[in-house]
Amino acid sequence: MTLTEKQQQLIADYSVIEDAQERLAAIVDRARRSPPLPDTERTEDNRIKGCVSLAWVVRELREGRCHFRSDADSPLVRGLLKLLCDFYSGAPPAEVAATEPALLEELGLARNLSPTRLNGLRSVRAKIREYAAAAQS
């Protein structure tokens, strides 16, 4: 499945929840059920700079595909990071580098986030794009 198809599937899955705040709550709840990153992966190298909350993204390349895991000290940020990491995980580096995540806007989540949260998410996207670009070379 391409990232475009995956994005459309995620949008369809979350669109059944009519209220954007309830969608956000579902995303946060889903992340709450996932295990946290171990302290050994909460390193400065994995930390997202530009995010008000403490947030980390762990990346790896397996069989030519990018995989991402994340954690944050804020439940909201943790949920949004998990959504982005799940979206990009399993895709080849070139596709990760080239595909922008429209799902936050499509699901009406971006308009419910503060400018500092949106800036943090841009930092996450930049870190994911940097990793994918480096994995291509």
| Model pLDDT for residues 126-136, shown as the tens digit of each residue | 999 999 999 98
Question: What pLDDT does residue 84 have?
Answer: 96
Give the Cα separation of 123 and 48 in Å (integer).
Answer: 7
- The DSSP secondary-structure symbol of 42 reads -
- Give pLDDT tens digits along the chain (137 positions): 999 999 999 999 999 999 989 999 999 999 999 999 999 999 999 999 988 899 999 999 999 999 999 999 999 999 999 999 999 999 999 999 999 999 999 999 888 889 999 999 999 999 999 999 999 87
Question: What pLDDT does residue 48 have?
Answer: 95
Question: What pLDDT does residue 52 have?
Answer: 85
Give this prediction's pTM: 0.93
Q: Where are the alpha helices (DSSP H) in the chain?
A: 3-15, 20-32, 75-88, 93-98, 103-106, 115-136
* Residue-averaged pLDDT of the chain: 94
Give the Cα separation of 84 and 89 in Å (integer).
Answer: 9
Question: What pLDDT does residue 51 have?
Answer: 84
Helix (H, G, I), strand (E, B) or coil at 3: helix
